[in-house]
Amino acid sequence: MRGKIGVVAGVALVALVTGVTGAGAAGRPDFAAQAQSAGLTRAQGAELQAEVDRDLAALGGVQVAANKITTADGATVLYPLPGEKYAHELGDGLDGNAVTTAADACPYYNFCGFPGAKYTGKRWTKSNCGVYNEIPDGWNSGGSWINNQSHHFTSSMFNKKHYHVFTTDPAPSNDAYGDWGPVWYVMNNC
């Protein structure tokens, strides 16, 4: 009996030390296979994962796909694949460098923000109403946004002290050359 327990304990220890659990760091799923099936090399997958990990550390939340997280405050962040300009869902058949991908960048009933002009870079999406959602770290200037909520709803932007900075035009509205510099939070007015 003691021999069997020793063998089982030894196998469990080897699995724990070598990471044969099918999960990544901190017990979360390993999205490397999903990144590879999307056509990424191992190095590109690691680059994408490093960016996801940085935002998870800053915003909190959970990773739900190789290129997508849900933040602790209910927003989502979708990342462009390495070498692509525009964020899009894996397996959606869209070209991450096509302007048409940018045109369809923000799902209906949402406000979306982008760190780059013309809807480039990661896509930060929020749909909850009356909640201050913090924008991702590093959005200190430039950028763009799309207000694609139900018709006639607006979104308001606030600074670090929650003072009003700007309110969008009613949906649908957008700004391909916005300025995230003074903005820390966005709230949907719906």
Q: Which two tokens stand for residue 51?
A: 């960016």
pLDDT at 12: 36
- For residue 154, being part of any structural domain is answered with yes
Kindly list the distances between the CA atom of residue 62 and the CA atoms of 56, 58, 75, 176, in Å, as whole numbers in the listed order: 7, 12, 11, 29
Looking at residue 137, what is its pLDDT? Answer: 85
Q: Is residue 138 part of a domain?
A: yes
Domain count, the chain: 1
Residue 112 inside a domain? The answer is: yes
pLDDT of residue 4: 39
Give the predicted TM-score (pTM) of the model: 0.82
Domain assignment present for 13: no
Query: Distance between CA atoms of 65 and 84, rounded to whole angstroms?
Result: 17
pLDDT at 101: 74
pLDDT average per 10 residues of sequence, the chain (190 residues) = 40 34 54 91 96 94 97 94 93 83 82 95 94 90 94 96 97 95 96
Residue 96 lies in a domain: yes
User: How wide is the angle at C-alpha 41 spanned by C-alphas 120 and 113, nearest 5°?
Assistant: 15
**pLDDT for position 28:** 58
Residue 137's beta-bridge partner residues? Answer: none
d(CA 94, CA 91): 8
Q: Walk across the sheet containing 62-65 and list its strands.
A: 62-65, 68-70, 76-78, 123-126, 110-114, 144-148, 173-175
Range of the domain at 174: 27-189
**Structural domain contains residue 100:** yes
